[in-house]
Amino acid sequence: MIGELDIAGIFVSPLLPCLLVAFLVRVIVSRVLAGAGLYRLVWNRPLFDLSLFLILLGVMFTLLRILTTS
């Protein structure tokens, strides 16, 4: 189990940094997809963006868990 993260003496849930990083990565990926014109292949863009965010959040949380247990 992942405990709290100590950031400058303040204990923070590990979900918060994962949410922030996943959101920033999703914004970057979204801009790349829009610039490449790949969003025209997507049926429902908000649903696609939500799914992309949740996938990235899972990846970030898994990476955090791997890095903190080693």
Overall domain count for the chain: 1
Determine the Cα–Cα distance for residues 27 and 41; give it in Å rounded to an integer.
18
Each residue's pLDDT tens digit, 2-59: 677 777 888 888 888 889 999 999 999 999 999 999 999 999 999 999 999 999 999 9
Q: Please give the pLDDT value at position 70.
A: 65
Range of the domain at 28: 5-69
Q: How far apart are CA 26 and CA 57, in angstroms?
A: 9
